Chain A
Amino acid sequence: MHGDELPLFFYSDLFIKHPQVRELFPVSMATQRGHFVDALVKIVSRADSVNDLTAFLQGLGRDHRKFGAVTEHYGAVGSSLLATLEHFSGPAWTPELAADWKEAYELIASVMTEAATADEQLQPAWWRGTVVASERRAFDICVLFVRPEPRLDYLPGQSVAIETPSRPKLWRYFSMANAPRPDGLLEFHIRLIDGGAVSMALTSDTIVDTEVRLGPPVGVLTLSQPLSSQDLLLVAGSTGLAPLKAILDQVTALPQPPKVHLFFGARTADGLYDLDSLEKMAAQHPWLTVTPAVSADPRFNGETGSLPDVVARHGDWSGHEAYLAGPTEMVQEAARRLISADMVNDHIHIEDFGWSEP
């Protein structure tokens, strides 16, 4: 392999031969080249496990709909891929090799386009979403309300990729913070990431009334048995609260809600941006306990320390279904602590964006 040179050549070749394809991609291609190589590596490494590979390619094909990829693009990509391989193989490139690659690529493309075509019958490639309101809850956290068109249905705990007009072709995943509502409105909790292009656009004051694009709902952080009587442990770090609040919203509507204990952690007290509404809910529902925790402010009038520590201090969670969301390190540490406290792995649910993590 030639590191970055191979995808660089591939995309340049593609864009010179088919200039109209360029506009499907963001300005900076650095991340894109990485994705391209990752996908190739995954395809090659799964080549002997047909089921795995097929599922991966089907997902890839469906996911590419929101980027605006259509069947005609697949031919263009194939010919540039062959040209790239030929260029880098030099004299080792033979007509037989070319024929093999062509056949393999056509197989890959057919699995992807078939999945994309089947998906067209089920849902749009993307939804138009109008940002109807933005509430600044902390200096770096905003709660957005978005009205999708047409209606977007999903499971509480799932996420959608969002693209803003000021950052074209950059899609980032955000979880809905409410269960589907009759009026279809979606709530998102956005934290400004240092240097994060999309989060910066979404937390900007000018986001209200803009039209964003929403990809189809994805994610597995959903109630495994919606009507199960098992008690729930919800552990939310910062805006990881969003998917868990959606689950809470879903539980609230059950005729006989299970006992729910929600831990909501942040670095400082002003990072507990949604505590008021959670405490109101807890006052209303005897089955709900909310425990706020702050990790970097000893003055905080409540639980202090890292969220996994605080959760562990609250004792025995066996017999609970645990849902964890937040910064990756916090989630992994919390999961590790729960497992070492005899909680069964199957009862711990964390978000997994799989290959398409932005």
Chain B
Amino acid sequence: MTTVQFDATWLGGEGRLTPEDLQTVTFPVSRLGRRGYEEEPVRAFLRVVHGEFVRLVNERASLWQEVQRLRRRILAGEAGGDSQSVLFGEQDAHVHAVRILSTAQVTADRYVADAQAYSSRVTEEARLRRDEIVRQAQQHSDMILEDAHARAREAAVSALNDPAPPQTDREQRAAQAELAYLRTYSDVYRSHLRAYTEGILRGIDEWERKEAASFTEGASAQQVAPGQEGASAQGAIPGHVNNHHRSIGP
């Protein structure tokens, strides 16, 4: 779908504003730190304006055709013809059919536009929620790593400080420290990961349950979005656990 960026020359310019312009117009995002309107109320308003606009355009079209028909009738009357046959003549029947088809077409156009706007909104929301979930997962993974690292470091330090037999050389002490670090790190990491994975599984169960419930209720607006979020939340976690660079204590 082509989107048209809002351009001040529309107002008072030669180009005419159409209902479709209202549906496709986009505005530049306000610069950082400056305040702009909330996007959704503006869009909601545009939808109302669009509906009204379409109604007016249609009304105007039928009035125009009515005027044409009456004008012809008058002309025929003036010419002394049979005004009844002009009123219900073949040409009028055709114009009438054109008008009916035009109304049907505009209605179909509106259904398609509404469906498109709806699908656009759902995808956009899913995208935003996905970003939020990924962000939270990143924060969470940072926290897990930080925690595991801090505690493992503690364990390593205490292994170093253990009163060791005098014959123990430095290498062995270092190896013990490393071992203590790794053991604690993996313990902490494992328990965090287990808790987190369980959390995700609970989320999936919940999603499944809701989806089943919404199917029994019939069509529902909620079903479409979670598919993408589930998949990407799972994908987001492992990518970040590998990035951590371990550094060992003293």
Question: By the criterion CB–CB under 8 Å, are A11 and B2 in contact?
Answer: no
A3-B16, A9-B61, A12-B98 are known contacts; what are 5 more A-B pairs with Cβ within 8 Å?
Answer: A1-B16, A3-B18, A139-B232, A195-B1, A301-B243
Mask for B189-201, Cβ within 8 A of A = 1, else 0? 0000000000000
For window 9-48 of B, CB contacts with A under 8 Å fall at 16, 18-20
- Chain B residues with Cβ below 8 Å from A13 are 94, 98
**Whose C-beta in chain B lies nearest to the C-beta of A17?**
B94
Given A8-B106, A11-B105, A30-B113, residue A16 in contact with residue B94 (CB < 8 A): yes
Q: Of A28, A87, A358, which is within 8 A of B2 by CB?
A: A358
28 contacting pairs across A/B (C-beta < 8 A): A2-B61, A4-B57, A5-B64, A8-B61, A8-B105, A8-B106, A9-B102, A12-B98, A12-B102, A13-B94, A16-B94, A16-B97, A16-B101, A28-B113, A29-B105, A29-B109, A31-B20, A34-B18, A90-B71, A139-B228, A194-B119, A194-B120, A194-B124, A195-B1, A195-B119, A197-B1, A197-B116, A270-B235
Q: Note all chain A residues with C-beta closer than 8 A to B68.
A: 87, 90
User: How long is the Cα–Cα vector from A19 to B45 in the complex, in angstroms?
Assistant: 38
CA distance A165 to B119 in the complex (A): 19
Name A244-276 residues within 8 Å CB distance of B. Answer: 270
Set of chain A residues within 8 Å of B60, measured between Cβ atoms: 5
Q: Which residues of the partner chain A approach B2 to less than 8 Å between Cβ atoms? A: 31, 357-358
Query: Closest approach, in angstroms, between the C-beta of A297 and any C-beta of chain B?
Result: 9
Once the chains bind, are A196 and B1 in contact (CB under 8 Å)? yes
- Inter-chain CA distance A30–B23, complex, in Å, is 11
**Which residues of the other chain, B, contact A60 by a CB distance below 8 angstroms?**
none
Give the distance in Å from the alpha carbon of A316 to the alpha carbon of B145 in the complex: 42
A91 contacts across to B, CB distance below 8 A: 71, 75
- How distant is the Cα of A11 from the Cα of B101 in the complex, in angstroms? 9
Count of B residues near A, CB < 8 Å? 41
Distance between Cα atoms of A139 and B127 in the complex (Å): 9
B57 neighbours in A (Cβ, 8 Å): 3-5
Q: Check B231 against A30 for contact (C-beta < 8 Å).
A: no
B204 at the interface (CB under 8 A from A): no
Chain B residues near A105: list those with CB within 8 A. none
A87 near B109: Cβ-Cβ < 8 Å = no
Q: Does A299 contact B (CB under 8 A)?
A: yes
Is B49 interfacial (CB-CB < 8 Å)?
no
Nearest chain B CB to A69 CB, angstrom units: 20
Query: B143 in the interface, Cβ–Cβ < 8 Å?
Result: no
Per-position contact with A for B47-58: 1 when CB-CB < 8 Å, else 0? 000000000010
Which residues on the B side are within 8 Å of A28 (C-beta)? 108-109, 112-113
Residues on the B chain within 8 Å of A194, using CB = 119-121, 123-124, 127
B123–A195 CB distance below 8 A: yes
A139 close to B16 (CB less than 8 A): no
B28 → A minimal CB distance (Å): 10
Partner of A30, one of B102, B109, B124, B127: B109
Which one of B94, B101, B112, B127 lies within 8 Å of A27 (CB-CB)?
Answer: B112
Chain B residues, CB < 8 A from A140: 127
For B19, list chain A residues within 8 Å (CB). Answer: 4
Known: A28-B113, A87-B68, A195-B119. A9 touches B232 (CB 8 A): no
The 10 closest A-B pairs by CB, nearest first: A195-B120, A28-B112, A12-B101, A12-B98, A194-B123, A30-B109, A194-B120, A12-B102, A5-B61, A8-B102
Tell me which of B97, B98, B106, B127 has the highest count of chain A C-beta atoms within 10 A of its own C-beta: B98
Q: Does B130 contact A (CB under 8 A)?
A: yes
Interface residues of B in 204-233 (CB under 8 A from A): 228, 231-232
Chain A nearest CB, measured from B91 CB (Å): 9
Confirm or deny: A15 has a beta carbon within 8 angstroms of a beta carbon on chain B: yes
Using A9-B98, A13-B98, A28-B113 as known contacts, say yes or no to A299 and B18 having CB atoms under 8 A apart.
no
Q: How far is the CA of A12 from the CA of B61 in the complex (A)?
A: 13
Within 8 A of B (CB), among A1-49: 1-5, 8-9, 11-13, 15-16, 27-31, 34
Among B19, B101, B228: residue with most chain A CB under 10 A = B101
Interface residue from A16, A200, A358 paired with B98 (Cβ < 8 Å)? A16
A281 at the interface (CB under 8 A from B): no
Chain B residues contacting A208 (CB-CB under 8 Å) are: none
Task: Say yes or no: is B117 at the interface (Cβ < 8 Å to chain A).
Answer: yes
- For A358, list chain B residues within 8 Å (CB): 2
Q: A90-B71, A194-B124, A195-B1 are in contact. Are A12 and B105 (CB under 8 A)?
A: yes
Q: Which residues of A contact B71 (CB under 8 A)?
A: 90-91
Give the residues from 77 to 131 in chain B that come closer than 8 angstroms, CB to CB, to chain A: 94-95, 97-99, 101-102, 105-106, 108-109, 112-113, 116-117, 119-121, 123-124, 127, 130
C-alpha spacing A87/B91, complex, angstroms: 10
Taking the closest CB of chain B, its distance from the CB of A276, in whole angstroms, is 14
Are A2 and B64 within 8 A (Cβ)? yes
Contact of B20 among A1, A15, A34, A196 (CB under 8 A): A34
- Complex Cα distance, B123 from A270, in Å, reads 18
Residue numbers in A under 8 Å from B138 (CB-CB) = 299
Does A192 lie at the interface of the complex (its beta carbon under 8 Å from any beta carbon of B)?
Answer: yes
CA distance A16 to B19 in the complex (A): 25
Q: From residue A194, how far is it (CB to closest CB) to chain B in Å?
A: 4
Roughly how many angstroms separate A192 CA and B232 CA in the complex, as a whole number?
15
Q: How far is the CA of A198 from the CA of B120 in the complex (A)?
A: 13
* The residue from B1, B18, B108, B121 contacting A4, defined by CB atoms under 8 A apart: B18
For B232, the chain A residues whose CB sits under 8 A away are 139
Whether A195 contacts B102 by the Cβ 8 Å rule is no
A226 to B162, CA, bound (A): 71
